[in-house]
A and B are shown apart, each in its own frame.
Chain A
Amino acid sequence: MHSPEPAPGHLDLYAKRKAVFPKAVDGRFRRFKWLVMVVTLAIYYGTPWLRWDRGPYAPDQAVLLDLGNRRFFMFGIEIWPHEFYFVAGLLIMAGIGLFLVTSAVGRAWCGYSCPQTVWTDLFQHVDRFIDGDRNAQLRLEAAPWGPQKIFKRGLKWTIYLVISFWTGGAWIMYFADAPTLTREFWAGDAAPVAYATVAVLTATTFLLGGFMREQVCVYMCPWPRIQTAMLDEKSLIVTYKDWRGEPRGSVKKAEKNPGAVGDCVDCNQCVNVCPTGYDIRNGPDIQCITCALCIDACDSVMQQIGRPRGLIDYATLEDCEIERAGGQPKPIMKALFHTRTLVYLGVWGAIGLALLFALGVRTQIDVSVQKDRNPPFMLMSDGEIRNAYTVKLRNMQTRPRLMQVTLEGLPGGVMWTDEMAREKAAREIRVTVAPDQVEVMRVYVVAPSDTTPQSFSFALKATDAEGGGDTSEARFDAPEE
C-alpha cells in the first residue's frame, strides 16, 4: 500500500487521507460540546414527537411540514404557502445569525453545532466505545485482519448503521404524523418517497459521519471559505500563543536552562485530540473548526506541570498583538461586542422584529377576486348587465367560520352564486368556510342596464365574536355608450 517515500520537492496531486484518531479529552469546552450535542440531538430526534392541540380540524403534531396539504405547522403558528416569506425571513435570520456568530466567536458553528461536527463527534465516541482510545485505535488499524478486528469493525459499522438509520428515520417524521408514519413505515405502507428519503439519509449519515468526517469540512463544505471573509482581527479564534510557547522544550530542559525555552513542552496533546488532525501551533487554518478541544488538552497539561492555563486559548488577533507586546488584553465582552457584531445583531434583530410584527398583524381571513374576462360582461334578457367573478374566501383558522360577503359600491347591484338561484340574489351572501380551507365561489353580479363601467368592492366579514375581515376591489364592466 505504501508508495516509496517521495523525493524532496515532490508535490502530491492526490493526497491519501491521513486517518484521524482523536484522543478523548475532558475540560470545560469538551463538557460544553457534550451539552450542545445532547441538546441538538434531542431537538432533532425528539421534536416530531411533541404534540400540540389544535382542535379537531388540524393535526396535533407540534412541528409538521405538511407538504401534501401545503401547510407548515410550528407550535402555535400555521404557515400557508402565500406566507412563505416567514420561512424566507427565518432563513435570512439564520444566515445573518451565522455571520453574527462568526464575527464574534469565529467558527463556533463549525466547532460545536454543525450537524457534520455533531454526528462525527458521536461516531468518534462509538469508535472509542468499541475500539478504545486513540492508541488502541491506532493499534487496531495497523493490525492484520483477524477474528477480533473483523468482529470489532463489524460491530462498529453496525452501530454506525443503526445511528444513521435512526437519523434518516427521524427526518421523515417532520413531514407526516410521526406515530402514524412510524406504524406505516414498519408495516410497509408508507409512501415510497419515505423509504427513499430514509435510505438516502442513512447512506449519507453513514458515509459522511462514519468515514469522510473532517474531509467534508476541509474539502467539501463551502462555509469555511465564506467564513474566512467573515472573520477579522476582532473575532475570537482558537490561537496558540507562540510568543509564550516558543521555543519548545521539555520540562527538564526548562529546569536546566530557565528562560531559554517557552511553555510549550511539545507533548503533541493538542494534535492528538484534534478531530481534524490539525496542529494549531501552525496558526489558523481551514482545518481548524475551533472546537477548542486542544485548549482543554493543553490546559490539563499545563495544570500537571504547574504552568498557567491558556497557552492555547480563545483570543482575537488584536489581543494577540497586544499580549505579544506585553500589554493587557481587552475584556472578553469588549471582544464580543464590536461595531461589526453590533451591526449584524441590529440587522438580525430588525428582521426578527419585522417578522414578529408581520405575524402579529397578519389576517387569518382573506378575500380575493378574479374577474371573468371572456366575456367581460353580459347582457341579460331583462336588460341588466351581468359580470362574473371567481371569489376565494380563505379561512386560515382551524375551525369552520360563517363569513359574510357584501357588495360595496355599484348602486343597484346584486349578486348570487352558481349554487343558488338568481331569484335569491342580494347585496350580501353568507357562506360557511371549512376550517383551514379556501372556499372558491363563482359569483355573478348584476347591475341595472344604465350602469357604467366602474370599480366596486367585495367586503368580507367574519360573523363570529372574533370578527376580522378583508376587502378586495373589483371592476364592473358594462357596454360603453
Chain B
Amino acid sequence: MANKRIDEPTGVETVGHEWDGIEELNNPLPRWWIITWVLTILFSIGYMVVYPAWPLISKGTEGIWGWTSRGQLANETKAAEAARATTLAALAATPIEQIPGDPKLLAAAKAGGKAAFLVNCVQCHGSGAAGSIGYPNLNDDDWLWGGNVKDIEFTLLHGIRQPGHDATRTSLMPSFGQDGLLTAAQISDVADHVLSLSGKAAANANGAAVFAANCVACHGTDGKGLRQFGAPNLADAIWLYGGKKEQVTASIHKARAGVMPAWGGKLDAVTIKMLAVYVHSLGGGEDFSEAPTTPAAADTGNAQP
C-alpha cells in the first residue's frame, strides 16, 4: 500500500496496487451514490423488522406489523364483501316481484344472477341458457312451471322431481308404451294428433280419440298443457324432447321426467333471488297478469334444508 502516488495524466491519486504495471485510480464513488446505498441498507433493515423476513426452524420471523399474504387476501375479501353488503341486504329485503321495477337492484341482480348461473346452471342449460334436448331453453316464452319471477324462484328453491322435498315440482306421465297402456298403433295415431295441434301433421281421428281418453287430464282438451302439473303445451312450436314424429312417439312410449336440483339447500336465498331475476330477464319472463301457479307455501321464499 505504499505506492500511492498522483497519476500524472489524470491528476488523480492511485490506490497503491500495481499488477504488471497496471495501476488503479482512486476515483471515489459520487457522494449521492454512497448516500443512496446507505439508505437502501437502512431500508432493508427496517423492512426485515416490520415484515416477515427470516426463515427459522418451524416458521419465519413475523415482523412487527404482523403482515401476511393470507391476511391481506382476507382483508381484501372482507372489503369486497363489505362493498357488496348493502346491495345484497337490499336484495334480501326487497320482495322478488318488486326487484324488476328497481333499476339499480335489477342491474345488481342480473349481474349477480349471471355469475351464479355460469357456475351452477350452465352444465345443463348451457352458457347462453339456450338448453338442449331435454333441458329447457330459458330464453323463450314457454314455461313448464310458470315464468314470473316468483314461479321461477320457487322452482329454483325446490327443484323439480326431487325426492325428499315436499314442495318440489312433481308430476309423472305414464309410460304408455312401455307399461302396455297403449298399442304401438295407438301411440302412432296420438303422436300424429299431437303434431297436428301445431299444424305439423294432418288431423288424425283415431289419435284424437286416444288423446281424449288418456291425455286431456293433464295436457287439456286443446293440448295446451297445465302448469300445475308441469304438463307441457303441445300446441306450440317448442318441443323439449324434439318435435319430430319419432321423438314424440318415443316420449309417449316411455315418459320423460327431467329433474333439477333443489337449489334452496345449496345456495343462499339472495343468490337464488338473483338467479330468478336473471332467468326472468332473458327475454321470456312473464309478469303477474297470469294467475301464479305457485302454491301459497312459496310465499315464505325460504330455502328448504
Task: Identify the A interface with B (CB < 8 A).
Answer: 3-7, 9-10, 372, 374-375, 378-383, 386, 388, 418, 421-422, 442, 444, 449
Name the distance in Å between B144's Cβ and chain A's nearest Cβ: 11
Contacting residues, chain A, for B198 (C-beta < 8 A) = 383
- Separation of A382 and B236 alpha carbons in the complex (Å): 6
Q: Can you list the 6 inter-chain pairs with the closest CB atoms, starting with the nearest?
A: A374-B128, A375-B130, A383-B237, A381-B236, A381-B142, A375-B128
Given A10-B9, A375-B139, answer yes or no on A380-B130 (Cβ-Cβ < 8 Å). Answer: no
Please tell me which one of the listed residues A6, A372, A379 contacts residue B237 in the complex, with CB atoms under 8 A apart: A379
Cβ of B233 under 8 Å from chain A: yes
B236 touches A378 (CB 8 A): no
Given A7-B9, A10-B11, A386-B283, answer yes or no on A379-B238 (Cβ-Cβ < 8 Å). Answer: yes
Cβ of B281 under 8 Å from chain A: yes
Name the distance in Å between A271's Cβ and chain B's nearest Cβ: 27
Number of A-B contacts (CB under 8 A): 63
Cβ of B140 under 8 Å from chain A: yes
Contacting residues, chain B, for A10 (C-beta < 8 A) = 9-11
Q: Which B28-67 residues have a C-beta within 8 angstroms of A?
A: none
A382 touches B237 (CB 8 A): yes
Name the distance in Å between A291's Cβ and chain B's nearest Cβ: 31
Given A4-B11, A6-B11, answer yes or no on A378-B283 (Cβ-Cβ < 8 Å). Answer: yes
- Separation of A221 and B52 alpha carbons in the complex (Å): 43
Name the distance in Å between A396's Cβ and chain B's nearest Cβ: 24
B130 touches A374 (CB 8 A): yes
Cβ of B179 under 8 Å from chain A: no
Contacting residues, chain A, for B139 (C-beta < 8 A) = 375, 378, 386, 388
Cβ of B127 under 8 Å from chain A: yes
B141 touches A381 (CB 8 A): yes
Given A375-B130, A444-B283, answer yes or no on A381-B238 (Cβ-Cβ < 8 Å). Answer: yes
Q: Which B147-196 residues have a C-beta within 8 angstroms of A?
A: none
Cβ of B271 under 8 Å from chain A: no
Q: Which B232-256 residues have a C-beta within 8 angstroms of A?
A: 233, 236-238
Given A386-B283, A388-B283, A444-B283, answer yes or no on A378-B10 (Cβ-Cβ < 8 Å). Answer: no
Given A383-B198, A418-B281, A418-B283, answer yes or no on A378-B130 (Cβ-Cβ < 8 Å). Answer: yes
- Separation of A370 and B162 alpha carbons in the complex (Å): 40
Contacting residues, chain A, for B8 (C-beta < 8 A) = 7
Q: Which B210-268 residues have a C-beta within 8 angstroms of A?
A: 233, 236-238
Cβ of B294 under 8 Å from chain A: no
B141 touches A380 (CB 8 A): yes
Q: Interface digits, B109-152 against A, CB 8 Å rule (1 contact, 0 not)? A: 00000000000000000111110000001011110000000000
Contacting residues, chain B, for A442 (C-beta < 8 A) = 283
Contacting residues, chain B, for A444 (C-beta < 8 A) = 283
Contacting residues, chain A, for B284 (C-beta < 8 A) = 380
- Separation of A99 and B175 alpha carbons in the complex (Å): 87
A379 touches B140 (CB 8 A): yes
Contacting residues, chain A, for B141 (C-beta < 8 A) = 380-381, 422
Given A374-B128, A375-B130, A379-B140, answer yes or no on A449-B9 (Cβ-Cβ < 8 Å). Answer: no
- Separation of A400 and B14 alpha carbons in the complex (Å): 80
Please tell me which one of the listed residues B10, B137, B281 contacts residue A6 in the complex, with CB atoms under 8 A apart: B10
- Separation of A262 and B154 alpha carbons in the complex (Å): 106
For the A-B complex with A378-B139, A379-B140, A381-B233 known, give 14 more contacts whose Cβ atoms are closer than 8 Å: A7-B9, A372-B128, A374-B126, A375-B129, A375-B137, A379-B137, A379-B238, A380-B140, A380-B142, A381-B140, A381-B142, A381-B236, A383-B236, A386-B140
Most chain B beta carbons < 10 A, residue from A372, A379, A383: A379
B237 touches A380 (CB 8 A): yes
Q: Which residue of B lies closest to A444 (CB)?
A: B283
Contacting residues, chain B, for A9 (C-beta < 8 A) = 9
- Separation of A380 and B281 alpha carbons in the complex (Å): 15
Name the distance in Å between B163's Cβ and chain A's nearest Cβ: 30
Most chain B beta carbons < 10 A, residue from A6, A380, A444: A380
Q: Interface digits, B285-301 against A, CB 8 Å rule (1 contact, 0 not)? A: 00100000000000000
Q: List 28 A-B contacts (CB under 8 A).
A: A3-B11, A4-B11, A6-B10, A6-B11, A7-B8, A7-B9, A7-B11, A10-B9, A372-B128, A374-B127, A374-B128, A378-B130, A378-B137, A378-B283, A379-B140, A380-B140, A380-B142, A381-B141, A381-B142, A381-B233, A381-B238, A382-B237, A386-B283, A418-B283, A421-B287, A422-B141, A442-B283, A444-B283
Q: Which residue of A lies closest to B6 (CB)?
A: A4
Q: Which residue of B lies closest to A384 (CB)?
A: B237
- Separation of A3 and B11 alpha carbons in the complex (Å): 8
Q: Which residue of B lies closest to A375 (CB)?
A: B130
Contacting residues, chain A, for B140 (C-beta < 8 A) = 378-381, 386
- Separation of A124 and B237 alpha carbons in the complex (Å): 86
Q: Which residue of B lies closest to A373 (CB)?
A: B128
- Separation of A300 and B142 alpha carbons in the complex (Å): 96
Name the distance in Å between B25's Cβ and chain A's nearest Cβ: 11
- Separation of A5 and B8 alpha carbons in the complex (Å): 11
Q: Which residue of A lies closest to B233 (CB)?
A: A381
Given A10-B9, A375-B139, answer yes or no on A381-B237 (Cβ-Cβ < 8 Å). Answer: yes
- Separation of A234 and B233 alpha carbons in the complex (Å): 89
Name the distance in Å between A413's Cβ and chain B's nearest Cβ: 15
Contacting residues, chain A, for B10 (C-beta < 8 A) = 6-7, 10
- Separation of A19 and B281 alpha carbons in the complex (Å): 73
- Separation of A372 and B139 alpha carbons in the complex (Å): 12
Please tell me which one of the listed residues B11, B137, B237, B238 contacts residue A5 in the complex, with CB atoms under 8 A apart: B11
Name the distance in Å between B108's Cβ and chain A's nearest Cβ: 16
- Separation of A422 and B289 alpha carbons in the complex (Å): 13
Contacting residues, chain A, for B287 (C-beta < 8 A) = 421
- Separation of A299 and B236 alpha carbons in the complex (Å): 99
Q: Which residue of A lies closest to B243 (CB)?
A: A379
Q: Which residue of A lies closest to B200 (CB)?
A: A383
Q: Which residue of B lies closest to A419 (CB)?
A: B103
Contacting residues, chain B, for A375 (C-beta < 8 A) = 126, 128-130, 137, 139
Contacting residues, chain B, for A5 (C-beta < 8 A) = 11
- Separation of A380 and B238 alpha carbons in the complex (Å): 7
Contacting residues, chain A, for B237 (C-beta < 8 A) = 379-383, 449
Q: Which residue of A lies closest to B137 (CB)?
A: A378
- Separation of A421 and B285 alpha carbons in the complex (Å): 10
Q: Which residue of B lies closest to A388 (CB)?
A: B283
Contacting residues, chain A, for B238 (C-beta < 8 A) = 379-381
- Separation of A383 and B128 alpha carbons in the complex (Å): 20
